[in-house]
Structure 1
Amino acid sequence: MVRRNHLMVLWRVSRMESRVITDVNACRSIQWFTRTTWWTYAGGMTLPSTAAAADGGVRSVTRAFDLLRAFDADHKVRSLRELVEFTGLPKSTVVRLLSTLGNPGIITSPSESTYSIGPSFLRWVKLAEAMWEVGAEARQVMTALRDECGETVNIYIRQDLHRICVAQVEGTATVRSVVRVGEPYPLTGGAAARVLLGGCPDTVLEALSAQDARVDAKDLRTAAASTREAGFAITHGDRELGASAVAAPIVAADGRLLAALSMSGPTSRFTADRVARYVDAATLAARRISAVGLGTVEAFL
């Protein structure tokens, strides 16, 4: 307990100075000021939490990312109205975010009331490409698999509760599977997802179940176990109606699951005889990539 006439200390910390002010007074507070943020402790009282300020900062960052997610290959330019509808945020909030993101060139306005991704993103695009690049030898294996089977070949990795395609060699047919590199896809649907689930700890399976009431952790465990035992996965219309895929695991030298190599296309082309051939080709290609390594991206897996 802090009683009367106890010492009150005010600390002020800034870039260039640090000073201490003392004063004998009634029950007061100790305040730390660090640049623009204050934390207060009053004798006999609890420390006022900075959670509110932190939550506000996190919320602003989340809103900014929600705004950026509105832009993709199909929506290169968005109007203010579209951004408001996409984010569900008040118009005033969207305008404020656009202004904030516009200053460093993250968002640009090609014409009045229309917005797009700005040139500053090129910096991070080049950095991401360099850090998440699949090696040349692995790509050669992917290309050979595409040439042999004609279907689109992808490499997926797991990021939290999603799977993300980090490398792609498009199929030769006019009608083919459409997967965007870098875009998050569900970890609960598709052949690649089943392979990746095989390397997930039980906590991830439980989190996936908690995230979606339609997903049962027990079913995920069963699917993961059967995929591990078989060494590959086959799905028809699992993620998207009319789309099929086969996938096989890419592993590290120590046996850890790194990624999933998948081959996908229209279900009409994935006949029983072709699927058998695709499985053999995909599993062999996955073993070859496991042997040569994934390249730079492997350091992050």
Structure 2
Amino acid sequence: MVAAMTDGNLSPGATQIGDPGGKSDAGVRSIGRAVSILELFDAEHPSRTLREIVSLTGLPKTTVVRVLATLETLDLVADKGESTYGLGTGFLRWVDLARSLWEVSADVRRVMAELVDACGETVNIYVRRDRSRISIAQVEGSSTVRSVVKVGVPYSLMTGAGAKILLSGTPEPVLRALLAQRSDADSEAFRCEVLSINEVGYAVTHGERELGASAVAAPIHGADGRVIAALSASGPTSRFTADRVGTLVDQVTSAAARIEQLGLGNVEAFL
């Protein structure tokens, strides 16, 4: 697979595997290019034209064509004709497996549903993956106007109540890297905010991730005491009044404590 996607700018046998700039580096680079192409497909864009892929990745057309050809032989991409591509059948064998590995338990789902019944807002469980946060479970709110995020899609670890909770357990090198990406961030003030959230045990944000959206989040600790996830209730800022936020904090922290007692399920092995 790696050999098939090797860049091609290097002559075979020119360098040994592991040499700087050698085949292994080219292979990793090729895998990165393949992933960057696959990430262009989502619910809003189930298919992409060759021209779109070239434009969005910024890769040379010849490179894109070569990577697409390799992905097609692996059934990870399907050619729909007229230089238009979609995901291939190869992904089908991984869908149920990935869902089963990352799904929270039925008991946890029940607690999330009860929280939605109590507060009416959308409830998510977020985990940190490197420098991003990802929702691995969601129960949509009962109101017509509600906040919904995409499960499995990376979101910023710098904004939002769920992110602030997860940051309390983030290793120092990751935190420094995140702050380096945000030149507009006051690093000392940000660190103080994260420390304060860790001490009080919940976070409340308004309009950080998206204008007009608010959230309340609380930590979910693992058996070893680490913050392994964040339970969040989010919705329109207009409903997150000062009086109601206090009630939401109680509801979310109580639900997070119940989930801690239950355990998230098999997914904890990855956290």
Task: Identify whether the pair has TM-score above 0.5, normalized to the shorter chain.
Answer: yes
Q: Residue by residue, what CA displacement relative to the aligned partner does 1:13-71 show, whole Å, maximum 9, x if unpaired?
A: xxxxxxxxxxxxxxxxxxxxxxx85767xxxxxx9935332221111111111101111
Q: CA deviation at 1:253?
A: 2.5
Please provide the CA RMSD for this pair.
1.8
Say if 2:167 is the partner of 1:201: no
Instruction: For 1:57 and 1:210, locate their aligned partners in 2 and report how far apart those are by CA, in whole Å.
Output: 28
Q: Residue by residue, what CA displacement relative to the aligned partner does 1:215-250 show, whole Å, maximum 9, x if unpaired?
A: 343233212111011110000001111110000000
Q: Residue by residue, what CA displacement relative to the aligned partner does 1:188-219 show, whole Å, maximum 9, x if unpaired?
A: 00000000011112222111112332234323
Q: Select the residue among 262, 283, 298 that pairs with 2:253.
A: 283
Say if 2:141 is the partner of 1:176: no
Aligned to 2:30: 60
Change (3 A) 1:39 1:92: closer
Instruction: For 1:122 and 1:215, locate their aligned partners in 2 and report how far apart those are by CA, in whole Å.
Output: 41
Aligned to 2:93: 123
Aligned to 1:93: 63
Q: Secondary structure of 1:92's match?
A: helix
Aligned to 1:105: 75
- TM-score, normalization: structure 1? 0.82
The list of structure 1 runs, each at least 4 consecutive aligned residues, that deviate by more than 3 angstroms after superposition, is: 36-40
Change (3 A) 1:85 1:228: same
Aligned to 1:5: none
Query: Is the contact between residue 15 and residue 22 of structure 2 (CA under 8 Å) also seen in structure 1?
Result: no
Alignment of 1:1-301 (within 5 A): 49-301=19-271
Aligned to 1:33: none
Select between 95-104 and 189-198 the one with higher mean Cα deviation: 95-104
Q: CA deviation at 1:79?
A: 1.1
Between Structure 1 and Structure 2, the one with more strand by share is 1
Number of residue pairs the alignment of both structures matches: 260
Q: Secondary structure of 1:71's match?
A: coil
Query: Is the contact between residue 15 and residue 23 of structure 2 (CA under 8 Å) also seen in structure 1?
Result: no
Instruction: For 2:126 and 2:148, locate their aligned partners in 1 and report how far apart those are by CA, in whole Å.
Output: 14
Instruction: For 1:256 and 1:288, locate their aligned partners in 2 and report how far apart those are by CA, in whole Å.
Output: 16
Q: Residue by residue, what CA displacement relative to the aligned partner does 1:89-114 show, whole Å, maximum 9, x if unpaired?
A: 12221111111100111001223211
Q: Secondary structure of 1:49's match?
A: coil
Q: Secondary structure of 2:214's match?
A: strand
Query: Is the contact between residue 248 and residue 260 of structure 1 (CA under 8 Å) also seen in structure 2?
Result: yes
Instruction: For 1:69 and 1:208, locate their aligned partners in 2 and report how far apart those are by CA, in whole Å.
Output: 22
Between Structure 1 and Structure 2, the one with more helix by share is 2
Query: Is the contact between residue 135 and residue 151 of structure 2 (CA under 8 Å) also seen in structure 1?
Result: yes
Query: Is the contact between residue 165 and residue 230 of structure 2 (CA under 8 Å) also seen in structure 1?
Result: yes
Which structure 1 residue ranges, 5 or more long, are not aligned? Answer: 1-35, 41-46
